[in-house]
Structures are given as structure tokens and as C-alpha cells.
Structure 1
Amino acid sequence: MPTLSRFAALSPAPVLLETLELLEWPRLCAHLASFASTQPGRRAAKATALPDDLEASRQWLARSIELAGLDGVTEGGLSFQGVHDLDAVLKRCSKGGVADGEELLEVADTLAAARRLRRQIVDPDLRPLCTELFNAVATFPELEQRLKFSLEEGGRVADRASAALAGLRLQWQSLRQQRRDRLQDVMRRWSAQLQDTVIAERHGRPVLAVKAGAVGHCKGMVHDSSASGNTVFVEPQAVIELGNRLAAQEGRIREEEQRVLAELSTAVGEQHDPLTKLGEVLLLLDLTLARARYGQWLGGVPPRLEADPDAPFALEQLRHPLLVWQQKREYGADVVPISITVAGDLRVVAITGPNTGGKTVTLKSIGLAALMARAGLWLPCQGTPSLPWCALVLADIGDEQSLQQSLSTFSGHVKRIGRILAALDQGATPALVLLDEVGAGTDPSEGTALATALLRSLADRARLTIATTHFGELKALKYSDSRFENASVAFDSETLSPTYQLLWGIPGRSNALAIATRLGLDPQVIEQARGLLSPQADGDVNAVIRGLEEQRQRQQAAAEDAAALLARTELLHEELLGRWERQRQQSSLQQEQGRQRLETSIRDGQKEVRRLIRRLRDQKADGETARKAGQRLRRLEADHRPAPERRRHPDWRPQVGDRIRLLALGKAAEVLSISDDGLQLTVRCGVMRSTVELSAVESLDGRKPTPPQATVQVKARGVGGRGADVRTSSNTVDVRGMRVHEAESAVEERLRTATGPLWVIHGIGTGKLKRGLRQWLETVPYVERVSDADQGDGGPGCSVIYPR
């Protein structure tokens, strides 16, 4: 079974600890600890160690994904309530010590919580890695039941834990009641000598407040007196012997309680090893859930860790996690994200730009991203971040000037870089190196030469080196060595303020003269400086930079033109869709008009047939031919009636369980429930739940929701009720004495115009007319059902027809 020791690296070298401090890793771990559920989890999160192999990092990530999914669908989220730190009590019990009742109850509560979590988590198909943690541990339900049976809330040993204990406590209660009765008797006899009628207690013994002048008349033991000396607290002689017996009884009770606690402690101590393993599993799960909740709170996504050391770095819209915390918890400024794409063949990236432009923040963001991925944490990025697993992350950031050690800024940097090079020679690979202001603090020409040689050396030793610099010569290394790349932080020369955006492929250009001009420096000085900076050769670096910036501006303008063209195309597409929809509606209208004309024609034909039937009946002729003609017309109507067009639903409405985007936050969320009217959604975004309007969300592919159509619900009485469905002369037809086909014609004519039930009086007789009508009505498509009328409306001699 995996334990925490497997995920902890060996004791890091001083240079590694120094790097963690420079990148503020302990501060990030403190933020992570705030999402842990238990005290051991918070301690372990604050001391988060970096796994020493790729597989361990991947397991942390996979487990956090598994628990994040379960936590999101569990009402109230996964709970570690009841889980306690058992290290101290297990160690004491295993060495023969006796734990008190509260500590033993904590063992029982932890076992109950572990069994509850086991039921929630174990699912080999959905959560194989978290399920594996429980395979080798036990939750000891018998031990839990024994502890809870023997102990009451607060840790008191229960009477049921021992028959001897129950008997002793019963005897103690009897003695205590005897003493109370004797005290009441003494109080009645001493009433004249007492200051009050309250039974006080001194040194664990009951006493009465006796007046100082009357103490000689009250036999007993004096235990105390009041501050004024007017009252003496006396234990009456009549209860002293009972008090001694109670004290002895209490001693025997404590001995029996201690014996029970010793037995329970022995039972716990016998399971020291499996209980310790269970505690480690619960700690691992708490840390895993804390990683998942912290990552969701950051708006992060699980990274993809590559085993290939030459795999590219791809971090889209990366935000510094500590700045995100400052923004959300301390209401700081919005965090400007950066995108980082480093191909597999690149080894060094030189970032240039003005001071306070965000170069150092960029270094720390990349360094923390590598450490977080290695520690199994989610990255505050978009998309799917991908990067190689970095065995070493080394940094030289900040000023290491020391007066005590007689170190200048340059000397401090050189000593730290020396430690970095030594760690690269001795440590594992691949390595990520972060250098801030490389070569600064000394003569610019010598600093440039040293920085160039150092970066070329690091290109051979480290997987990736990212360095910030102000030296223009370092910007040209890209054009002589394919392993080098340039990047810069953008600067708005009009407002004299940085934009904190990272531009790849383009080195930063000096803005000193622009800033000096805006600040009102003497124009002659500015012009003289421009003359000194005039290019002396076609390959001047600043000229190259200006050309690249102009090219970027042209590309940006072309991209804006393309975006405008795309917008016009989308408008045209929407217009075409509108025209098509109008044409489809017109076609449907024409089809409906044709159907109405056909039905009108059929009704006219049926009327003609009914007139023919009446003529035949008057002439006493056989109407079978007419009846068949009527049936044929009805079949013709059914065959030619067009099927109602199925209504298409291209519109989108969110359903429970869908992933949607909150427009106000720009974040993805999960739909938990929908109101009855469909206009409000309860959603979960990370660990937060909220209720939002339907109009405040959209689908992940940008579709807007269609509000539900307002429906009017009308409550009506059942068709069999006696409310509005009352038999009258207008909804009653008498077919007694008619033949079956004659009755069918008469009934059908009335059914065509009926708006409710139709009562048909056919009498009882032989039942032939009733059976014939019932058989015919079963074939009529617009009849819902037929039943006998109520007894007051004709009973079996009258049928009620309910049209659809």
C-alpha cells in the first residue's frame, strides 16, 4: 500500500530549499492547507514534499481528478468529519499505556468516518486508484462497536461496560442518598444555629453554614470559615462516616473504570499497525481532496506530465497562483495571464523589457507551474497544460547582497549560480533553471560576456533556462543559435505603463528615451542620446527589433481585418438562416391550407352520403351500400389527412448535469437543479454554489439558452364527472327504432359538432343496436371512449360517447 513516504523526496539540497523560498512555495502550501479537512491534513499540506518520480506525480493527479468528480456530485461534498489524529493514542496503547475515554472515542469516530468514506469512494470502475487505497486496510467495525458500547459521550465509562462497575455505581448512589437524607434531618435540628439552609461543599465534603457563636452546639468537623469569621462550615458528625464510605466507593469505581479503559486500550494497541495504515490512507485522501478543491478554486485544470524530457512546454493563459489568491481573498488587482509555448528543441528563452513590466512574475509563474505539476496540483490555466516532469527547479531571483559576508549584489548572484551549476552536475534531469537579471551588477561588457557564456553552458546542461536581462547583445543569440528564443513584456509608451503581457519571438526594446521625453527631460539631451544610439551597421539590434515590432503590428492589423470579415460572414449566415426559416413557415402554411381544403371536401361528401341514406330509409330500401360508401369516405379522409409536421427543436436549454459557462465570471459550471419555471438554475462553480438566471449562462460552445414558453394550466373535472358534462336536449340523440347503419349516420353527424360528451339513447331490447354502435365506435379515431350512462340518465339503455 502506498504511503506518504513514497511521495516524499530525499532531503533537498540547500540550493533546492533556496529555490523553494525564492518562488514562495511555502506560501502556496499554506494556501493549499486551508482546503484540508483534518488537522493532520493541514500539517501535511503545509509541508508538502515533491514526489521523486513521474509515476507518483501522475498518481496524485489521477486521484485528485477521481475525488473531484465524486465531491462534485455528493450532496454537501465529501466530508472528513469524525477523522482525528490518532498517532499519539495509538503509540501509547501499543506500549501498554491507558488512553482516556475521549481518546478512545476519537478512535471509534475515526473508524466510523473511514467506513463511511469507504462506502462513498470505493468504485473500481470510476475510481480505481482511490479504491486501491482501501483494499489493504480494515475499518474494524467490531472494535468501533465495542468502544461505543463501553463509552458514553464525553468519554465516561458506561455502566453497561462492566457488571461490577454498574453495581458499584448503584451502591454509591444509595450511600449518597442516605447522606442527603441525614443532612436534611440535621438541617431541621440545627435550623436555629444555621446561617442558611444551603448544603455547601468544601474539599469534596458536604458542609453546613453554622453561626460562629453556635459551633459548640453542632457536633462535626470544621472544614472552613467565612472571610468575616461569622460563619463556620461544619460537616455534621452524623454524615462523616457515610462520607468516608462514599470516598472509598469512589476509589473502587475509579479502579473499575481504569480496568475497563485498560482493556479497551489493549484492544486498540493490538491493532496498532493496521490502524496506523488506515490513518495514512485517510491522510492521503484528505490531501488528495484538498488538491482537487484548491485546483478548482484557482480555476485550474489538471496538467499533462510528459515522460520525454524534450517534450514542449505548453501553458495557455497561465496565472500566478499567489496573485490569484491575492485577487480573490484580498481583493487585489486582476491577474493578467501569460501564454508560454516552448518547443522541444529550445533550451534558453531570454525575456527582455522595462522594469516593473512583469518579467520576474513570469519567472515565478513558470517555476511554480513546474513545482505544482510535480506535486500533483492543478494549474491555473486554460485548455490542457502540458509540460515535461522536471526533476530539478533551480532559481536565482532577487538580490543576495550581504554586508556580514562582504558580498556585493554581483558576488551574491555568482555564488548562487555556482550552486545551481553544481546541482545540475550532481542532480537528476530534466532541470528547469530560472535566472533574474543574469549578468547584472557589474561592468555591462563583462556582464554581457559572462551572461552569454553562462546561457550557452546551461543550454547544454538544463532542459530549459529562462532568463531576464537588459543586455541587448543577448537578444541576438537567437539568430546565431537555434536553441535560443526571445520574449518580451509589452510596454505602452503613450501611457508609460507596462501591460504585463508576454510577447514571444520578439525581444523587448529600450524605452528609456521615450520615458525621458514624456517626463520632460531637456530635448537637446534627448537628441544627443539618439545620436549616440544611431545604428553603425545594418545589423543593429534595435533596428531588428523595430522591424519585428512593425511586422507584428501588420500581422495584428491583418488579424483584425480577418476578424471583421468573419463577423460579416456570420451576419450573412444568420440572414440566410432567417430567410430559410421564413420560407419553411410559408411552406407549412400552404400545406395547412391544402389540408383544410381537403377536409372541407371530405365533409361535403359525407353530408351528401347522409342525405342519400335518409332518402333510402324513407323509401324502405336497403342502406348497406350507403353505409359502405360512408365507411369508404372515412377511410379516404384518414388516408389523405397529412400527418402533423414534427416540430424541430434546434434551440438549446440546459439540463441537470450539463456543463455551462457563467457569463459574469467567464467560468465553467455544472447545473445541479432547475426551477419549475425553467428560468433559474442552481449551479456549482468549483467549490461554490449559486443560483443564477437562465439568461446569465450559455453553453460551452457559445449558444444562448431559449427561455421556456409560458404555459397555462387549466384544471378541469374528469370526463366522468357530473359538473359541466350534464345531459341536455342539445347533447342527446335518440336512435331507438333505427337500424345500425342509420344510427351510425345520425350519431356521426352529431359527433362532428359535439364539444363534449354525447348521450345516445338506443334502448335495451335485444341489444343488437347497442352492440353494433359500440363496434362501430371502436373504429372511429376521434372517439376516446364509450360507457353506459348513469342510472338517472338511462343506465344500460343509453351510451355516453366521449370525443377526443
Structure 2
Amino acid sequence: MSDIRQDTLELLEWPRLAEHLAGFAATAAGRRHCAALALPDLPAESRRLLQETTELLALDGLSDGGLSLQGAEDIAATVVLCAKGGWSGGEELLAVASTLGAARRLRRQIEDPELRPVTSALVAELRTLPELEQRLLFCLEEGGRVADRASPPLEGVRRQLQGLRAERRERLQELVRRFAPLLQDTVISDRAGRPVLAVKAGAAGQVGGLVHDSSASGSTVFVEPQAVIPLGNRIRAAEGEERELERRLLGELSGLVGQEAEALAHLQQVLVQLDAGLARARYGQWLGAVRPELAEAADAPFELRDLRHPLLLWQERREEGHPVVPVTITVGPQLRVVAITGPNTGGKTVTLKSLGLAALMARAGLFLPCSGTPRLPWCGQVLADIGDEQSLQQNLSTFSGHIRRIARILEALAKGEALPEGAAPAALVLLDEVGAGTDPTEGSALAAALLRHLADRARLTVATTHFGELKALKYADARFENASVAFDVETLSPTYRLQWGIPGRSSALAIASRLGLDPGVLKAAADQLEPGGAGDVNRVIEGLEQERQRQQEAAEAAAALLARTELLHEELLQRWSQQKEQSAELQEQRRQRLEVSIREGQGEVRRLIRRLRAVGREAHAGGRNAGETARQAGQRLRRLERQHRPVAERRDHGGWRPAVGDRIRLLALGKAAEVLAIADDGSELTVRCGVLRLTVELAAIEGLHGEKPALPEPPPQVRIRSRRSPGSRGPEVRTEGNTVDVRGLRVHEAEAAVEERLRGANGPVWVIHGIGTGKLKRGLREWLSGLAWVERVSDAEQGDGGPGCSVIWVK
């Protein structure tokens, strides 16, 4: 009997997810590690892996081009061979040197215990052996060739070989020129590592030497001339000596590697862990995933908002599949069993697999493709019965296959209960079509009993079913909850939306009708439904769905009404502001005309004074009287100037308030008028001036005796934008509902928060990120530029935060 845990991994397609993860690894060893992705046995190890993923994701974003494992190779086999006394080739030893260099660079980038405590602890004990690296690089050249500088004897032998080969080459060229008429070709060939000349068959004796080969036609023989045979023998001997010296040096270098086998093995293990952690970070970033929170308590709630199946996301993005519809799973601490009902192809099985993969991914240190911050308990046991296990070879029916697998699930749960208190992990059980494959009555009873049994032993059991009896378990046991997948009967297509609290209703008759089944058969089937049975239940469910739809439509209508109200308020404020500006403009024009008149009068007075001073002694007394008259005229002009200063400069309002029927003076016209009506807020008056009926502000009047009115409190300021972006579906009104504050968050956390708000947006969204270093703003702008459904992003207006706040317009 196979292990049910391994069967569950196969059913949830965990190996396929591991293959996708392996594609983000940088080294062959890292890819093998990810492809065989193991699940930690302790919650603390899972939390450590999540923290490691978080630290590497942040560091990868800070580094130019990201963290690089370039030069890191799989040296495990080389280290084992050298540790046993064997010797490796030059390329393998050179790979050890490059791996040491890559590890040293990574340690410099990572080591920061305050910012990155987990990854810093991982590389803290890492020995990069710089002396061994330098020795290997000194003795080996690119391609693994032993360098001349590695040994003086080796250098001497190679210099000798170079001279012998040059001498043999010169002699062969001379022989080619001498025997040119006897040769078929002037090219010097090679046979068995010896140089030969292509000599005509009849002239071999004239050339003299050792025949190594002949052509297929027999017209050409390949002769090594006698003159170069001794040189060839000496070269062969020197080459043998060279090989022996190289072998001796490689053996020495292999010995040095073998002496550090323990440190090198640890270094290889650390590099594989770093590569796997970086692969987890990049895979999560590619998915748009966020870090989950693993709760300490086994009965902690499940909070997974907009969870998307990672394999379907891969299919959508890499294989141009259909868009993935997210599901939201919220399970409180008291719930133990969730029964999902609804028609086939509605997404029930995908929901099961998404939840199972989410629990496994969080346990393995992977981020989850969700919105917000997903929270769930650490599930040490994820057990599933999904699909058909019919086997003709074992004479097993579908029902028998399900029962065998469920029996192994119960056995695994029993073993978990046998652990000491506090050590038993939380168990997640996923059952697809529980009780199916046999008589509906017996299958329904068996399924109900099984779910009650699992409610006592597993943290959460999620089961899909078509049995209507299971929908009623919720009303007898508070640990049960219903959910359903929606189905559009009009279009005969599933919506893949998960609805909580409402059981699914059977749509078999409606679907059959749409597909053209005989009406008589459909009527007979409808009459066959027992009163108070499935027909009544379906009518109740249909009523609940209709009520829910009406509530949703009412909420949308209320939102639209609010939008229209805000637009009307905006228009009224604009008109009030325009009227206020026009009144102020008229007052300013009157003041300017008065100032011009006063300046002209002052100029006339100054000219009069100058003429009086020019009068002679005979008119001295009369001149003094005229000067006094001019001085008095100037004083009257200054008093007139103070009286006609702008209204904004008058500080003393006196507390006077006009009443209906009072006579007041209009400052702009300088005429008296009668008060006919006063606005509710007291800021505006309706007056009659002669035949004119006007609406003026309180600040534009005064009493007939110069009383200044007490101005009312200014109206509340409402931040409303008058522009609307093309295609926007809501008013451009900044409210708490369309504003998200991401200050203090990291870029990936801010992206998750903004994406969550954008998915429910009905207009522009304001994102408050602050100014600071600008990294958060740049990171968000780069991410938003890659989203096809974002139309544009701009800085907010100065009153809304300016550069510290961005406005996002969705299509």
C-alpha cells in the first residue's frame, strides 16, 4: 500500500509545481533540489524558509541585475572523488575554484545580521578557502589545461617540445620542396600522430622512410620521411614526460581539494540552499504572490483572499491559457467541515486543489498567489481523495477506489493523534465527490457519517458533493459550513465563483431544457420530485440567490446615486466659487477706480501748494491762508482713502447681522437696498435695490451707519476633482474607499496592497507612498507600467500630497 501523503502530492500535481520552480534556479544542483522539493517536518523550519525567501527577494531587488550565482558549479562528485584519494581533471578542479569565488561574492552581498538574520546565519560558517582557490587558478588555465607556470620542470619540457616540433616542421617543409615532383599533394598529413607526405606509389623508394598508410585506389602512399623519424621519437618521449608531470600536478591539486572535503561539501550545500531560496523568491515574484503568515495554533483560521491556482497561472501566462478566476477562502477557528456543492465543471475540484497547494506551498517556504496577507495554520498533514481510482487490474470500482483511499486517510489521522499532546500537526483533508459511486441513499449516509468523524479529527475538511442531504448538516452542527460554485443557466457556462453560506442547487433540469431535451421528459422529471424534497430545497436556494442578487444590485444603485450626488455637490461649489470671484472682482475694480481718483486729487493739491509758495511777500498773508486751505484738502483726501480701502483689510466686523426688512448699503454700488431674504448659512442675502433684485454676499454690504457684518464660518472644504478620465466608471472623488496608504511597506508588500484595491476599483485610486528615497515610488511605477489594465499613473495634485501620492487610472 503506497503512502497516502505521496499519493496526495501526486493528486495535487505537486511534482509539476516543483518543476516550474526548478526553472527559476541558476545551477544544476539547485534545479535538482527544487525538482525534488521536500516539505519540512517542523513549523519553525517552514517559517525560517519563508523568512529566507523574503530576505533573498529584497536583496535580489536591491542588487544591480539581481543576485548572481555565476561561476557556481556542482562540485559534489569532484569533492567525493578527491576525498577518497582519486584525482580529477583540470576542468573539474577549475570548477572548484570558480565555485569558491562565487561563494565569496555571495557572502559579501548577503552578510548583514541586522537586515538579513536568516541568510546571514546560513553563510556565517561558510569557508571560501581563498588559498586553495588561488592555487587552483595559478596552476590551471581556461579549459582545465595545466599552466606552464605550475611547475618549472613542466615548463622546461614544454619549451623543449616547442623547439623539437619547430625543427621537424622546418625539415618537412624542406623535404616537400625537394620531392615536389614525386608528391601527389604538398600538404603534410597526420597518421597515428606522425607527420607523413602523400607520395606517388611508384616513388616511395626514392623518398625513403616509413610507410604508414595508402589511399583507397593505391595510387598514393603516406610516408614518414627517414629524416624526421628521430625527431618524432624524441617528441613522443617528451610528450610522455609532459603527461606524467601534468598527472602529478593534478594529483597534488586533487589532494589539496580532498583535504578540504568537509568545508567544500558544506559550501556546496549552502550554495544549493541559496539557489533554491532565490528560485522560491523569483517564482513568487513571477506569480505576483505574497508572503503568508503561518499561525502557531493548530485551530487558527484560514484567510486566503483571491487565491489563484499556481498551475493555472502558469498555463495562462506561459501557454496562453484562459484567465484564472480567483477564489476567496475564509474559515473561522470554529469551522471544521466545508461542503462545496454545485454543478459539474463549476470549479469545485480546482478549489480543492488550490487550497491544498496553498497549504503545501506555505509549508515549503513559497509565497502564495493571493491578495492582502494570507493567513493559515501550519498543516503537517495534507491528505486528499481527488479523482477516479477505478482499476480493472485490481477489480476495483470507482467507489472501491475512493473507500480504499479514505481508509488510508483515516489511518494517517489516527497516527497523528497518537503523537504527544502539542506535537500533532494540523490536518487538512480534501475529498472530491465524497460518497459517490454507489446507491445515492447509502452514499449520502456514509458521506455524512464520514464528515462528522473527520470534524473530530482534522483541522479542516473540504468536501465536494452532489448530495442535497449534506447541505443540511450546517443547521445541526456549528462546525459545518456550506459553499457553492455559481453557474449561469442562461449561458450554460460556469462562473467559477465560490459563494459562501449558500449551498448550490441542482441545475440538471434547466441545463437539459437548454440543450433541447424533450419537454415531456422534463415535465415528468419535475413531477417526480417529491414535495418538500429536493424541489423545495432548490426553490429555497434559488430564492436566496435571487435575494443576494437584489442586494448586490441595490448596493450598485446606491453607489451610482452617491456618485451623482457628489457630482452635483461639485457643480454647486463651483457656481458658489464663481459668484464669489465675480463679486470680489467688481469690488476690486471699484477700489482701483477710487485709488486713481485719490491719486489725481493728491497731485492737484501738491501743484496748488507749489503755486502758493511761489507767491511774493506782498501776498504773504493771503498765501498762508491758501496753504492752510490746501493742507486741509490733503487731510480730507487721506480720510477718504482710509474709508475706501478693500473690504479684506477691514478687521472690525462689529458683530452686526442684518435681518429681513433692514435697509443696508451695497459697497460695490454705493447705494441703499432692502433685505428680502437671508440664506440658511447666513453667507448670502437677497436684496432689492430700486428695480433690481440681487443676491450678494454678506461681506459685500454694510449698515447705513457704517456697521460691519459678522461673517459666518467658512463652508467645509470638500476635495473633489472636476476632470474625469476617459472611460472611468466612477467619480474622481478621493475617499477612504479609493485611497491606500503603503508608507513603510516594502515594494512587494505595497504591490499586493495596491493590487487588492485596484481589483475592486470603480474609478481612480490614490496611493500614498511618501517621498523618502523614492525607491518605493519607483518600484510601484515600474510594476504598474507592466499591468495591461492600468491606463496611466500620475502624481496627485498638491492638495492631495503632490509627488508623495500617485493617482492610478484603470481601463
- TM-score range relative to shorter protein: 0.7 to 0.9
Distance in 2, matches of 1:281 and 1:85, equals: 12
1:551 aligns with 547
1:486-505 to 2 correspondences below 5 Å: 486-505=482-501
2:434 aligns with 438
After superposition, the C-alpha distances for 1:426-467 in whole angstroms (9 at most, x for unaligned) are 134210001111111111111111111000000000000001
Distance in 2, matches of 1:128 and 1:85, equals: 26
Residue 200 to residue 538, structure 1, CA distance change in 2 (3 Å)? closer
Query: Is the counterpart of residue 697 in structure 1 residue 793 in structure 2?
Result: yes
Check whether the contact 1:151–1:158 (CA below 8 A) recurs between aligned residues.
Answer: yes
Query: Is the counterpart of residue 535 in structure 1 residue 638 in structure 2?
Result: no
Check whether the contact 2:80–2:261 (CA below 8 A) recurs between aligned residues.
Answer: yes
Query: How much does 1:549 deviate?
Result: 2.3
Check whether the contact 2:11–2:384 (CA below 8 A) recurs between aligned residues.
Answer: yes
For 2:291, give the aligned amino acid: P
Query: How much does 1:600 deviate?
Result: 9.6
1:462 aligns with 458
Check whether the contact 1:682–1:691 (CA below 8 A) recurs between aligned residues.
Answer: no
Structure 2: which 5+ residue stretches go unaligned? 417-423, 612-645, 649-718, 724-733, 735-741, 770-777
Residue 151 to residue 601, structure 1, CA distance change in 2 (3 Å)? farther
Distance in 1, matches of 2:26 and 2:596, equals: 75
Distance in 2, matches of 1:276 and 1:343, equals: 46
After superposition, the C-alpha distances for 1:626-646 in whole angstroms (9 at most, x for unaligned) are xxxxxxxxxxxxxx9x9xxxx
1:88-107 to 2 correspondences below 5 Å: 88-107=77-96
Check whether the contact 1:33–1:290 (CA below 8 A) recurs between aligned residues.
Answer: yes
1:145 aligns with 134
Residue 25 to residue 182, structure 1, CA distance change in 2 (3 Å)? same
Residue 276 to residue 334, structure 1, CA distance change in 2 (3 Å)? same
Distance in 2, matches of 1:267 and 1:598, equals: 102
After alignment, is 242-251 or 144-153 more displaced? Answer: 144-153
Aligned partner of 2:63 among 25, 49, 74? 74
After superposition, the C-alpha distances for 1:455-500 in whole angstroms (9 at most, x for unaligned) are 0000000000001111111100000110000000101121222111
For 2:807, give the aligned amino acid: K
Distance in 1, matches of 2:256 and 2:335, equals: 62
1:113-152 to 2 correspondences below 5 Å: 113-152=102-141
Distance in 1, matches of 2:410 and 2:207, equals: 92
Check whether the contact 2:214–2:221 (CA below 8 A) recurs between aligned residues.
Answer: yes
Aligned partner of 1:392 among 377, 381, 386? 381
Residue 691 to residue 359, structure 1, CA distance change in 2 (3 Å)? closer
1:205 aligns with 194
Residue 126 to residue 245, structure 1, CA distance change in 2 (3 Å)? same
Check whether the contact 1:312–1:341 (CA below 8 A) recurs between aligned residues.
Answer: yes
Query: Is the counterpart of residue 32 in structure 1 residue 21 in structure 2?
Result: yes
Distance in 2, matches of 1:188 and 1:121, equals: 67
Query: Is the counterpart of residue 247 in structure 1 residue 236 in structure 2?
Result: yes
Query: How much does 1:111 deviate?
Result: 1.3
For 1:20, give the aligned amino acid: L
Query: How much does 1:588 deviate?
Result: 10
1:339 aligns with 328
For 2:432, give the aligned amino acid: D
Check whether the contact 1:670–1:684 (CA below 8 A) recurs between aligned residues.
Answer: no
1:519 aligns with 515
Aligned partner of 1:425 among 393, 414, 418? 414
Aligned partner of 1:568 among 564, 567, 571? 564
Distance in 2, matches of 1:383 and 1:224, equals: 79
Check whether the contact 1:301–1:379 (CA below 8 A) recurs between aligned residues.
Answer: yes
Residue 193 to residue 553, structure 1, CA distance change in 2 (3 Å)? closer
Distance in 2, matches of 1:517 and 1:539, equals: 16
The SS at the match of 2:456 is helix
For 1:527, give the aligned amino acid: K
The SS at the match of 2:496 is strand
Check whether the contact 1:681–1:694 (CA below 8 A) recurs between aligned residues.
Answer: no
Residue 692 to residue 449, structure 1, CA distance change in 2 (3 Å)? closer
Check whether the contact 2:468–2:534 (CA below 8 A) recurs between aligned residues.
Answer: no
The SS at the match of 2:188 is strand
Check whether the contact 1:681–1:691 (CA below 8 A) recurs between aligned residues.
Answer: no
Residue 69 to residue 607, structure 1, CA distance change in 2 (3 Å)? farther
Query: How much does 1:136 deviate?
Result: 0.6
Distance in 1, matches of 2:266 and 2:570, equals: 63
Distance in 2, matches of 1:70 and 1:225, equals: 67
Query: How much does 1:296 deviate?
Result: 1.3
Query: How much does 1:196 deviate?
Result: 2.5
Residue 513 to residue 299, structure 1, CA distance change in 2 (3 Å)? same
After superposition, the C-alpha distances for 1:3-49 in whole angstroms (9 at most, x for unaligned) are xxxxxxxxx97100111111111111111111111111111111101
The SS at the match of 1:221 is strand
1:646-661 to 2 correspondences below 5 Å: none
Check whether the contact 1:670–1:683 (CA below 8 A) recurs between aligned residues.
Answer: no
Distance in 2, matches of 1:695 and 1:587, equals: 41
The SS at the match of 1:383 is strand
1:717 aligns with none
For 1:564, give the aligned amino acid: A
The total of aligned residue pairs comes to 652
Check whether the contact 2:325–2:496 (CA below 8 A) recurs between aligned residues.
Answer: yes
Query: How much does 1:696 deviate?
Result: 2.4
Query: How much does 1:123 deviate?
Result: 2.1
Check whether the contact 2:27–2:69 (CA below 8 A) recurs between aligned residues.
Answer: yes
For 2:501, give the aligned amino acid: G
After alignment, is 694-703 or 17-26 more displaced? Answer: 694-703
For 2:502, give the aligned amino acid: I
Check whether the contact 1:683–1:692 (CA below 8 A) recurs between aligned residues.
Answer: no
Aligned partner of 2:151 among 153, 156, 162? 162
Distance in 2, matches of 1:236 and 1:538, equals: 104
Check whether the contact 1:307–1:388 (CA below 8 A) recurs between aligned residues.
Answer: yes
Query: How much does 1:551 deviate?
Result: 3.2
Check whether the contact 2:302–2:331 (CA below 8 A) recurs between aligned residues.
Answer: yes
Check whether the contact 1:681–1:692 (CA below 8 A) recurs between aligned residues.
Answer: no
Percent of residue pairs identical: 64
For 1:519, give the aligned amino acid: L
Distance in 1, matches of 2:87 and 2:590, equals: 94
Distance in 2, matches of 1:599 and 1:705, equals: 50
The SS at the match of 2:185 is strand
Distance in 1, matches of 2:199 and 2:118, equals: 74
Query: How much does 1:606 deviate?
Result: 14
Check whether the contact 1:682–1:690 (CA below 8 A) recurs between aligned residues.
Answer: no
After superposition, the C-alpha distances for 1:515-558 in whole angstroms (9 at most, x for unaligned) are 22223333333333333325338995334423422332332233
Distance in 2, matches of 1:455 and 1:24, equals: 25
Distance in 2, matches of 1:92 and 1:175, equals: 37
The SS at the match of 2:38 is coil
Query: How much does 1:262 deviate?
Result: 1.4
Query: How much does 1:418 deviate?
Result: 0.4
Query: How much does 1:597 deviate?
Result: 10
1:799 aligns with none
The SS at the match of 2:256 is helix
1:665-704 to 2 correspondences below 5 Å: 684-685=782-783, 696-697=792-793, 704=807
The SS at the match of 1:261 is helix
After alignment, is 437-446 or 549-558 more displaced? Answer: 549-558
Residue 538 to residue 334, structure 1, CA distance change in 2 (3 Å)? closer
For 2:29, give the aligned amino acid: P
Query: Is the counterpart of residue 485 in structure 1 residue 474 in structure 2?
Result: no
For 2:302, give the aligned amino acid: F
Query: How much does 1:365 deviate?
Result: 0.9
Query: How much does 1:275 deviate?
Result: 1.1
Distance in 2, matches of 1:205 and 1:607, equals: 122
Aligned partner of 1:49 among 38, 46, 50? 38
Residue 181 to residue 62, structure 1, CA distance change in 2 (3 Å)? same
